[in-house]
Amino acid sequence: MDFRQRHLRGALMLGTAFLAGVALAPATGALGRAVAESTGNAQMYTLLKEFGDVVERVRADYVQAPNDRELVENAINGMLTGLDAHSSYMNAKAYKDMQIQTKGEFGGLGIEVTQDNGFIKVVSPIDDTPAYRAGIKPGDIITALDGKTVQGLSLNDAVDKMRGPPNAKIVLTIKRAGLDKPLEVPLIRETIRIQVIKSRLEADNIGYIRLSQFTEQADPGVRAAIKSLREKSGGKMRALILDLRNDPGGLLDQAVAVSSDFISKGEIVSTRARHPEDSNRWNAKGEDQLNGLPLVVLINGGSASASEIVAGALQDHRRAILLGTRSFGKGSVQTVIPLPGSGAMRLTTARYYTPSGRSIQGLGIEPEVVVAETREEVASFGGDREADLNKIISNQGGTAPDTIAPRDDLPPIVSEIPKKPPEGFPKFDPLKPSETDFQLQQGLVLAKAMAARKSASAN
């Protein structure tokens, strides 16, 4: 697709700013209808006149002369952010930054954020970035930047303040669940070049692939990693673990392509818009890169948007077993519509549905095997999922989860996998993941059992 065809490159978005992730399809038809419907609406004309009166009064009497462009941009952003948690306005700079981010390289701290109750909320840090190394956690609330409150700032403005030249310092003030006092976290900005794929061969020839976000490198990276793991195992890889934990999403076409790396045919995802003619469906368009080898997918509350599309497709097709905790629950699609002033609007235009017809909006995806990351149940500050955000769109039009037949193909070992780590389990150490990552450990137990069962059935 290209702009000459008046289409936009497909992408999904979590309502965040440090990462790209917008969605979908032709914007002009829906926009044209909205204008046409408004044309005959006398009340709208009255309201627009009232808006114009306010603008003129501000221009004439505000204590200092305002910038006209800022006035209009702030008004547009207020209108869009008032709709839901993911619609917003991007000025020319923010729009350009978004386009750069989809390519997997940008400047800043390496942190995925959204806005909630006037503050900036961390969705997840990006692997191997300043934020990740400083211990920033999903759910952290950023209350101040260099000692100045973020209240009153739009999400784009707050993100812009966190950006800057490499080696420049910034101090984030953070409210973290379970702590009575705020944390002050000094960070040094870097040029963030995201390696969205990490892979390694675990014991017993179990492959492991970590996908941190769905940029343009996602599908090529997954394919290359599978090929590399096969070579490292001497062609004897027995199963694969796909780690989508804290993956906030990204490009829709990459979600479809990654799903197609494991599903050879059938639906991957569908979208339903306000107007039926704007609805769409994406089918698998590849072949199973594993040739039927067992697949385990790790998810948690930071797995959102494109991650949930992949997890939902693999779950509905019975191609993988999901292990971890319930996902974020972002089941909406945003369309990016370029505007004449070089900026763009990000507008929620549809809900998406898994192959079985489920809408996960506000619900998330429940794994077949529930395993907590830690033993402690820590109360959250401000909520951790889509359902906790202000002004979310409703869940409607989908197949009820309880009407879907339960799985009957789970290996017996599932009943023996503990739901949380034992007493005294070591704190997670990113340098020793196999020894300190409890969810990964249980994923390996499950993958080995699935591999053994497949081998037995083949003999």
Q: Which residues are catalytic?
A: 305, 316, 330
Instruction: Give CA–CA dist 40/96, Å, rounded.
Output: 35
Most distant CA atoms of the chain, gap in Å: 84
Nearest to 358 by CA among 320, 389, 306, 313: 313
Asked if 351 contacts 397 with a C-beta cutoff of 8 angstroms, the reply is yes
143-148: long-range pairs with CB below 8 Å, 24+ = 143/119, 143/173, 143/174, 143/175, 143/182, 144/172, 144/173, 145/170, 145/171, 145/172, 145/173, 146/170, 146/171, 147/171, 147/173
Kindly state the helix (H) or strand (E) to which residue 47 belongs, with its residue range. helix 42-61
Q: Which residues contact 2 (CB under 8 A, 6 or more apart)?
A: none
User: How far is the first Cα of the chain from the last one, in angstroms, to the nearest whole number?
Assistant: 47
Phi-psi region of 128 (alpha: psi -120 to 50; beta: other; left: phi over 0): left
C-alpha distances out from residue 399 to 146, 190, 228, 234, 309, Å: 47, 45, 39, 43, 15
Write out the two tokens for 420: 């949380």
Q: What are phi and psi of 274, to 5 degrees?
A: -60, -40
Write out the two tokens for 216: 């343009």
